[in-house]
Amino acid sequence: MNNSQIYAAITEKIIANLETAGSWMKLWQVPSPVSMNGHYYRGINRLVLSSDPYKGRVYGTFQQIRANGGQVRKGEKSTIVVFWKNSVEQDEATGETKKLFLLKFYHVFNSEQADFDEQGMKKIAELQNLVTEKVNSDHMEAEAIIEGFENGPDIHYSDKDDRAYYAPIADLISIPDKKYFKNSSAFYRTLFHELGHNAATGIMPHVIDKVLISALLRLRYAA
């Protein structure tokens, strides 16, 4: 399979996933997929794997699954993941070296597509725990950023599932309580979005001032 065929296969997979995902947001609400050797998939591989129908986040090649006491069930279809491998080549005539990047690919299966023995199931459980710990770690980092937000706004956690907004005059963020969100990631995305509005007020106060003055003038003449 050449590079063009790999690109085409990945593109077709993404389009198919988007057509059946039901929501674009769904792609980002799924924890990072992880390989049987504990490596987290990133970039395009995360996009491809995060929109599949499986709840489990562990993936492996046919050989990796077999090596961990598993057997892929007959008829299951694999997913292509890619990576760039770099190498250095030296020109024999000039002695100059240049770096080459080669696109590689391999086929992986989700752990739910295979049957595992007791040891394999234990390994899958450990990897799933790693995924959970990573999610929790990410959320702890998010909380640390919020706590360390210099001269940050007051944050009001509303007990109503209505809306999130930033009020520049009061320098206040109002956001529904975390329980109203589908998951913690969605909550922090929304909160950081509103913090972005607060940051814009601090970075571009003259723009905000013009907006406020214009609004006040409209109210004055309307009265």
Angstrom CA distances, 56 to 93, 97, 106, 132, 150, stand at 53, 44, 20, 11, 39
Residue range 72-96: average pLDDT? 85
Q: What is the mean pLDDT of the chain?
A: 79
Write the pLDDT tens digit of every residue in 192-218: 888 887 776 665 554 445 555 455 555
CB 17 within 8 A of CB 52: yes
Model-level pTM?
0.57
Dmax over Cα atoms in the chain, in whole Å?
Answer: 84
Q: Whose structure tokens read 């990576």?
A: 83
pLDDT band at 123 (very low <50, low <70, confident <90, very high): very high
Question: How many residues in the chain?
Answer: 223
| Domain ranges across the chain | 3-137, 150-222
Q: Of 169, 160, 217, 159, nearest to 197 (Cα)?
A: 169
CB 101 within 8 A of CB 84: yes
